[in-house]
Structure 1
Amino acid sequence: MPSTSLCVGVVAPLTGRLAPLGSPLSYVLRRLAPRLAHVRNGGRRHTVTVAVRDSRSDPEAARRAVRELAAAGAHLVLTMAGTRVLPAVTDACEEAGVPCVSTTFPWQAYLHARAAEPGHRFHWTYHFAWGLDDIAAVFADLWERVGGRGTVGCLWNDDLQGALLRHQHHGFAPVTSARGHTLVDLGAYREPAPGFAAQVARLREHGADLVTSAATATDLALFHREARAAGVRPRLITCSRWLTYPHTHTTPAPGVHGELGDARVATLVYWSPDHPYRSGLDGTSCAELARAYERDTGAPWLQPLGLAHALLETAHHALTAADDPTDRACVARTLAGTTLDTVAGTLDWTRGPAPNIALLPLVGGQWQPTARGPRLAVVGNRAHPGVPLTGELTPAC
């Protein structure tokens, strides 16, 4: 008789530079612990153990964590991580034959970082997120609202992230060029950057007053400071990556917070308290989840909070819907056919832009200064009109 005990493994960045992702995931694990303690499947009650391992924000530590979980009998692994750590987790799960659900960065990056083409089908690993093309479309909407169609300076690093944004097929150019924008690469740089004199000079040379980036908060603040000192004042900076978080969660340097608040950086928004979703597991709305997080932690809500909740919702669904939840292959097949309403939106792995991918829509946001610190306002919702606008897009001062 198959075991009635199930194990969900979680590889989370509890320490290290990606720790801001670990905080909302740890919170959701505590919040949903009573609902995950047991699941019913086919009239049978299964006890569920949740085993958490710290990736330490390091790819090799993440691989070791997966191997430990696989050896301990995990039936499913969940993860949220960065550009190098997440592929380490998913590849290790693929090698170990353990189903995995992941989230937090563009699906093209998910495939490219694993040396896979868009048509490749993984056997064990599933991802939900948005695309680089979706980010480009949201940012192009914002550029057009403050300056029409023109030249945009691209502040991209020399690492995998920069290479993907520059990619002739998967990057920003196919979307933005079709809309009449000219992208000017300001020059690759290594993180952390010692300075941006060359990039500022190139921005001035091309007369671009729009900038797009995927820089860290510290590097973007340094670029903004040096540009202003040189008399170059971009009307709008759009930035993905860490600027989807409150500035206080991305760097301990208070000067960076003020500089980025003054810059009125625009960014992508994949989840907020104003999104019109409810959890299919516990009925929690986006607003209720954000309020509970702020009440229980004393910290502001974070966009990854909704994704973390959706990860746990997906795990619960997979274990309750699989023909045999003790069989990893059955769990993986269930994920492949899943369409699920979550607090992060509807996840549909049957209609993704590529196999193993469920797509989430994006809206545009902007960090705007308030008396209580920078506030993330939704300022553009063309791709998802169901998300209400909570502010007006404002060019930098």
Structure 2
Amino acid sequence: MEPDPQLRVGVVIAQTGRLSRLGDPLAFVLRRLTPQLAHVRNGNRRLPLRIAVRDSQSDPTHARQAVRELAAEEGAHIVLTMAGTQVLPAVVDTCEELQVPCVSTTFPWQAYVHRPGARQRKRFEWTYHFAWGLDDIAAVFADMWERLGPARTVGCLWNDDLQGRLLRHDRDGFAPVAERRGHTLIDPGGYREPAADLHAHIDHLRRHGAEVVTSAATAADLALFHGQARRSGLHPRLITCSRWLAYPHAGVAGSCAADEGLAQARVATLVYWTPNHPYRSSLDGATAADLAEAYQRDTGNPWLQPLGLAHALVEVARHALAEAADPTDRRAIAQAIARTRIETIAGPLDWTSGPTPNIALVPLVGGQWQETRHGHDLAVVTNTALPDLPVTADLLAAR
């Protein structure tokens, strides 16, 4: 009797380069879950499983090569990836090209669907994603602006790349949601990343009376804006930012605490996972708090928001292999992902009811980096989309 075939999960992680800090949660999750992933039960079969990892080197060219190696050399039945506005699209596009099922996360779904080279509203056959939308970010940010009073005049610090164009999108973007809430958006036009001088943008916002500033800037560009704005006399009552500030480390480049002025700005941001989220792992029943505690204990680093999504990636892969009509057939695995509805440590994921066929949504709430005796803490200040998550602090206006 022939032994059962081995199933193989390929993982593309940024182990080196500028995104390596964001690769840490997925690397940790793989180490933590390895004993539970030795086999997958599919019906009456108990199939051996191996995980193969490749380093994207935080670069799209290397990311594409990593997928090719996983597909050809490792024979991966499914590929997992997360993080990187250029790296993630490179991985999923290569998986689509090679007809390898792929699950990804940490990227607004509009940027996933409308990424360069993808036809608008195309139904991808092989690649699946879970995250939130730019419209969800707008709703959360509007909740926080409105804590300061009714409709605000909001300055937009958005770049001139795909991200900025999608934020402005008249159907799927951030702008129409915010405007429907009664807010007036002041958009001085996009800037090139990395920014060298934002005085022209600041002058425009000051002339038009911007009370609040919203952005999707890197921490370095936001720090530049904040310093130049204060010296120019622009003092917004609140800054909301959806990019790197969603998961900083104190004292690390890309964090709110890496720039003293920005650290005191009380930047508000999106929250998609915390140790207090009321969810459990479908693999072993571990809670969000259990996972965060294990990460901090084993790595010596504070928990990161992507930790919950990294764990959910592995949960989805195992579920797809367990539920596929033939777990050794890539098309059958892709079909299993398409019909997946699963409770994960990052919350319920449902690919049968997303905004597009290949998307499952993750709810967002509002958070703010507030000073504590031990540095800074990400406080939950609004919970409209997830009322079971406790609010831990009041929103504070900027100093």
Structures share fold, TM-score greater than 0.5: yes
Distance 1:215 1:20 in 2: 18
Alignment of 1:12-23 (within 5 A): 12-23=13-24
- Of 258, 261, 278, which residue of structure 2 is paired with 1:259? 261
Alignment match, 1:166 = 168
Distance 1:247 1:395 in 2: 22
Alignment match, 1:275 = 277
Q: Aligned pair in 2 of structure 1 residues 342, 154: CA closer, same or farther (>3 Å)?
A: same
Structure 1: where are the runs of 5+ without partners?
Answer: none
Distance 2:67 2:43 in 1: 29
Alignment match, 1:61 = 62
| CA drift at 1:189 | 1.4
- Give CA-to-partner distance per residue, 1:57-80, whole Å, 9 cap, x none: 111111111111110210000000
Distance 1:255 1:47 in 2: 45
Structure 2: where are the runs of 5+ without partners?
Answer: none
Aligned to 1:31, what secondary structure does the other structure show? helix
| CA drift at 1:256 | 3.6
Aligned residues: 397
Matching residue's letter, 1:41? N
Alignment match, 2:123 = 121
| CA drift at 1:118 | 5.9
Matching residue's letter, 1:351? S
Alignment match, 2:214 = 212
Distance 2:142 2:32 in 1: 38
Aligned to 1:396, what secondary structure does the other structure show? coil
Aligned to 2:398, what secondary structure does the other structure show? coil
Q: Aligned pair in 2 of structure 1 residues 253, 382: CA closer, same or farther (>3 Å)?
A: closer
Aligned to 1:102, what secondary structure does the other structure show? strand
* Between 163-172 and 89-98, the greater mean CA deviation after superposition: 163-172
Alignment match, 1:239 = 241
| CA drift at 1:30 | 0.2
* Between 170-179 and 68-77, the greater mean CA deviation after superposition: 170-179
Alignment match, 2:327 = 325
Q: Is the 8 A contact 2:4 2:48 kept in 1?
A: no
Alignment match, 2:308 = 306
Is 2:138 the counterpart of 1:136? yes
Matching residue's letter, 1:162? G
| CA drift at 1:305 | 0.1
| CA drift at 1:249 | 7.1
Q: Is the 8 A contact 1:211 1:236 kept in 2?
A: yes
Matching residue's letter, 1:52? V
Distance 1:258 1:90 in 2: 37
Aligned to 1:25, what secondary structure does the other structure show? helix
Distance 1:114 1:87 in 2: 8
Aligned to 1:188, what secondary structure does the other structure show? coil
Percent of aligned pairs sharing the same letter: 66
Is 2:344 the counterpart of 1:342? yes
Q: Is the 8 A contact 2:364 2:385 kept in 1?
A: yes
Matching residue's letter, 1:286? A
Q: Is the 8 A contact 1:3 1:326 kept in 2?
A: no
Alignment match, 1:193 = 195
Alignment match, 2:177 = 175
Q: Aligned pair in 2 of structure 1 residues 378, 152: CA closer, same or farther (>3 Å)?
A: same
| CA drift at 1:185 | 1.0
Alignment match, 1:32 = 33
Matching residue's letter, 1:53? R
| CA drift at 1:253 | 8.4
| CA drift at 1:147 | 3.6
Q: Is the 8 A contact 2:56 2:63 kept in 1?
A: yes
| CA drift at 1:287 | 0.8
Distance 1:343 1:262 in 2: 32
What TM-score do the two structures reach when normalised by structure 2?
Answer: 0.96
| CA drift at 1:206 | 0.6
Aligned to 2:156, what secondary structure does the other structure show? strand
Matching residue's letter, 2:395? L
Distance 2:117 2:342 in 1: 28
| CA drift at 1:268 | 0.3
Q: Is the 8 A contact 1:99 1:328 kept in 2?
A: yes
Alignment match, 1:359 = 361
Q: Is the 8 A contact 2:63 2:90 kept in 1?
A: yes
Distance 1:279 1:118 in 2: 34
* Between 355-364 and 111-120, the greater mean CA deviation after superposition: 111-120
Q: Aligned pair in 2 of structure 1 residues 95, 250: CA closer, same or farther (>3 Å)?
A: farther
Q: Is the 8 A contact 2:134 2:172 kept in 1?
A: yes
Distance 1:153 1:17 in 2: 29
What TM-score do the two structures reach when normalised by structure 1?
Answer: 0.97
| CA drift at 1:255 | 7.0
| CA drift at 1:259 | 2.0
Q: Give the CA RMSD over aligned residues.
A: 1.6
Q: Aligned pair in 2 of structure 1 residues 278, 254: CA closer, same or farther (>3 Å)?
A: closer
Aligned to 1:374, what secondary structure does the other structure show? strand
- Of 98, 103, 106, which residue of structure 2 is paired with 1:104? 106
Q: Is the 8 A contact 2:252 2:258 kept in 1?
A: no
